[in-house]
């Protein structure tokens, strides 16, 4: 007898059926031969004596007779069952208990097909039941992705999420263009879809803060516009925009903080700005020839009541802007210009000594890499004014970390005797007089950006003209670079609480910074010798963005200040009227002009005022002399009685002059009240 091995090539379908079912039957019928399937060649090898081999070959077609049931599935479901490990596991589970049913995948005309193969027609019912189960159990779901998906989500981040989710659920996920296709079993598809939706929504979402003028914000919460605004906010929520936070109706610096997918957020922001722009605004400028208007509307009860009455009758909101002729007493600096970034962060250009400027939380020092501040320039002035703690902190840092390279900064939370909460030492570059300075300009921008980044936990900062002194940077290049850095920082981090940036420079450099500020900022305004401060009226708190807010309300709300601004009677006053329509605003304007005219008459009429206050009894002779001199200078007759039973001051003169002297007396009594409070507190401490 001759031993031989013969290999029979089979079709893909026959090979699948043979391997899955018929091979066992053939082997049992022909035990004299050894049968082996070869997956790589789709063939069957028959090893045995020639007669036995020939017998198997001749009967093989009979063993390969089978039926097949097509299973209709979407291409993604077929791929899931054929290519993905979780899908194959699920298919095996569904076929368990049906060994006579063999799964078979094939391709035809660039599409994949799926059949169930079975040995005889007697098993057709079982196969059809299995096919129905598979069709019902495997679910395909498509989800539209945000346009920002490919930009916002990295491949590695997406892969990590899928890996973690695969530990909990059977699924496959494919992304094509802006569509996500999910395949899973019916009991899991809802959970898988929810997990992907949450992941995509969070990963593609950004947060933005939109600021409002104070008057506009109040109008949206106190008039017929309130329902429109509420409906608008609800509509945004339906579009997938989340309201993270928003100001109270009484807030001094109102804002709304929103979060959502990039494109939805941009759409929502645009609509919010359109909503703001739809509010009508009219300004009523009151001439400086009628002094006292600021005091009348801000501190006089009649003026406050009149503004409230107009607001109620005309359904408007009114804000008061006061522009002073000069800086506040005792200040060695002045605002010469201001504007805002696109994200409504206020930028002031200030002429003065930065070491004495006291209206910012953080000061930036133009330092060298060794943080050796005694070599001259601004750094030396800062150490001289701030005291030894400035150099001590710097030396400690250098000893531990080494020198700082150009463009880098470090922040210390001690500013010594300087009127600041913190100090940033920024190392600016030196100007190259003999070559291209693109690198130096970039390093200066980096120093400014890093200074702002380090300080974004504070609300305000003072920045000098870094590198424009001994480091030789041309002032125009320095100004342009600093303003560009500020604008870039604001755009990159609009939600930071650093909302006021003060550029404090010497007067010699002011023109270059004014030009740069005008190019880069919005709403740019400059003053030759005046300072603009914006205050709130009693009827409506401050609305102008970026200004220093004050409120005359005695409100305990954290959104309200309770400081009455010290405004001189020669102030220029502008009333800003906000209303839903132009006719409404015009009607309110007419009312205001009538009031202004009446107040002008009042200001120039003869007036008598009596002031009673127990503190008057504590007036010193020096205070008495000072008040009498001040009253005489303003043509006001003054009688002061320090008798403990009377404690009164009588004033006679023109209304506007009497009001000025009255303010002076109130300052004196307030000073005595503070001193008495300190003494009582000290006495209480000494007793304990």
pLDDT digits 0-9 by tens, 438-474: 999 999 999 999 999 999 989 899 999 999 887 889 9
**Which range scores top for mean pLDDT: 296-300, 348-352, 600-604, 655-659?**
348-352
Q: What is the mean pLDDT of the chain?
A: 82
Of the candidates 502, 555, 554, the one whose C-alpha atom is nearest the C-alpha of residue 531 is 502
Question: What's the rounded Cα separation, in Å, for the pair 447 and 365?
Answer: 11
Kindly indicate whether the domain formed by 280-327+536-600 is annotated with CATH number 2.60.40: no
* Proportion of the chain above pLDDT 70, given as a percent: 86
pTM comes to 0.43
Tell whether the model's pLDDT for residue 537 goes beyond 50.
no
Q: What is the mean pLDDT of residues 128-154?
A: 84
Are the CB atoms for 580 and 280 separated by under 8 Å?
Answer: yes
Instruction: Tell me which of 594 and 589 has the higher pLDDT.
Output: 589
Q: Quick one: pLDDT band at residue 528, thresholds 50, 70, 90? A: very low
Domain 334-527 classification at class level = alpha beta
Question: What's the rounded Cα separation, in Å, for the pair 431 and 473?
Answer: 5
Task: Say what angle helices 389-401 and 377-386 make with each other, to 10 degrees.
Answer: 120
> Given this model, what pLDDT does residue 606 score?
66
Q: Quick one: pLDDT band at residue 299, thresholds 50, 70, 90? A: low
CATH number (1.10.1040.50, 3.30.1370.10, 3.40.190.10, 3.20.20.480) of 606-687 reads: 3.30.1370.10
Domain positions in the chain are 3-135, 280-327+536-600, 334-527, 606-687
Tell whether the model's pLDDT for residue 662 goes beyond 70.
yes
Of 299-303, 325-329, 359-363, the least confident? 325-329
For every residue of 89-141, DSSP letters joined together read HHHHHHHTT-TTEEEEEEEETTEEEEEEEESSGGGHHHHHHHHHHHHHHEEEE
> Given this model, what pLDDT does residue 535 score?
31
> Given this model, what pLDDT does residue 568 score?
47
Are the CB atoms for 468 and 477 separated by under 8 Å?
Answer: no
* One fold for 280-327+536-600 and 334-527: no
> Given this model, what pLDDT does residue 675 score?
85
Q: Which helix (H) or strand (E) holds 523?
A: strand 522-526
Instruction: Tell me which of 483 and 544 has the higher pLDDT.
Output: 483
């Amino acid at each position: 007898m001759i031993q031989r091995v013969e290999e029979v090539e089979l079709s893909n379908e026959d090979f699948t059926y043979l391997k899955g079912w018929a091979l066992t039957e053939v082997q049992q019928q022909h035990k004299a031969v050894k049968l082996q399937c070869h997956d790589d060649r789709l063939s069957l090898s028959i090893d045995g004596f020639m007669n036995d081999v020939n017998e198997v070959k001749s009967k093989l077609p009979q063993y390969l007779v089978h039926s097949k049931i097509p299973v209709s599935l979407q291409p993604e479901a077929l791929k899931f069952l054929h290519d993905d490990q979780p899908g194959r596991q699920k298919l095996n589970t569904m076929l368990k208990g049906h060994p006579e049913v063999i799964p078979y995948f094939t391709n035809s005309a660039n599409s994949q097909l799926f059949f169930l193969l079975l040995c005889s027609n007697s098993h057709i019912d079982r196969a059809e039941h299995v096919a129905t189960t598979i069709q019902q159990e495997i679910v395909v779901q498509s989800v539209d992705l945000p346009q920002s998906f490919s930009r916002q989500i990295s491949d590695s981040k997406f892969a990590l999420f899928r890996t973690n989710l695969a530990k909990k659920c059977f699924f496959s996920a494919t992304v094509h263009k802006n569509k996500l296709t999910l395949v899973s079993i019916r009991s899991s598809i809802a959970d898988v879809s929810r997990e992907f939706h949450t992941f995509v929504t969070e990963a593609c979402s950004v947060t933005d803060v939109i600021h409002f003028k104070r008057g506009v914000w109040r109008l949206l919460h106190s008039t017929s516009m309130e329902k429109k605004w509420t409906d608008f906010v609800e509509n945004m929520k339906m579009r997938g925009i989340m309201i993270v936070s928003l100001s109270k109706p009484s807030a001094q610096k109102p804002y709304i903080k929103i979060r959502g997918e990039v494109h939805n957020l941009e759409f929502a922001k645009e609509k919010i700005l359109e909503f703001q722009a739809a509010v009508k605004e009219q300004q009523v400028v009151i001439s400086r020839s009628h002094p006292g208007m600021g005091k009348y509307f801000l501190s006089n009860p009649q003026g406050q009541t009149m503004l409230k009455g107009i607001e109620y009758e005309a359904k408007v909101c009114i804000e008061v802007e006061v522009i002073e002729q000069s800086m506040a007493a005792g200040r060695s600096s002045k605002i010469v210009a201001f504007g805002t970034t696109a994200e409504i962060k206020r930028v002031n250009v200030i002429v003065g000594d930065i070491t004495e400027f006291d209206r910012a939380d953080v000061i930036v020092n133009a330092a060298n890499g060794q943080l050796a501040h005694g070599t001259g320039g601004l750094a030396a002035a800062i150490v001289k004014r701030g005291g030894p703690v400035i150099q001590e902190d710097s030396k400690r840092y250098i000893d531990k970390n080494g020198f700082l390279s150009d463009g880098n900064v470090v922040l210390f939370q001690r500013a010594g005797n300087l009127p600041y909460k913190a100090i940033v030492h920024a190392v600016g570059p030196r100007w190259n007089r003999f070559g291209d300075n693109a690198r130096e300009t970039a390093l200066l921008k980096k120093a400014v950006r890093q200074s702002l980044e380090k300080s974004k936990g504070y609300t305000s900062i003072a920045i000098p003209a870094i590198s424009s002194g001994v480091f030789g940077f041309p002032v125009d290049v320095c100004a342009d670079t600093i303003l560009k850095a500020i604008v870039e920082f604001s755009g990159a981090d609009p939600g930071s609480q650093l909302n006021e940036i003060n550029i404090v420079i010497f007067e010699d450099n002011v023109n270059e910074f004014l030009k740069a500020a005008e190019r880069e900022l919005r709403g740019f305004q400059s003053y030759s010798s005046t300072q603009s401060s914006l205050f709130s009226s009693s009827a409506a708190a401050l609305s102008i963005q970026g200004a220093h807010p004050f409120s005359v309300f005695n409100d305990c709300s954290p959104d309200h200040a309770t400081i009455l601004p010290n405004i001189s009677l020669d102030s220029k006053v502008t009333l800003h009227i906000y209303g839903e329509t132009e006719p409404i605003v015009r009607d309110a304007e007419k009312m205001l002009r009538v009031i202004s005219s009446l107040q002008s008459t009042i200001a120039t009429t003869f007036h008598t005022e009596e002031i009673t206050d127990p503190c008057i009894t504590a007036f010193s002779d020096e205070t008495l002399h000072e008040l009498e001199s001040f009253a005489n200078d303003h043509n006001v007759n003054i009688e002061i009685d320090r008798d403990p039973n009377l404690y009164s001051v009588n004033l006679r003169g023109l209304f506007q002059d009497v009001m000025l002297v009255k303010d002076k007396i109130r300052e004196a009594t307030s000073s005595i009240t503070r001193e008495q409070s300190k003494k009582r507190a000290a006495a209480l401490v000494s007793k304990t």
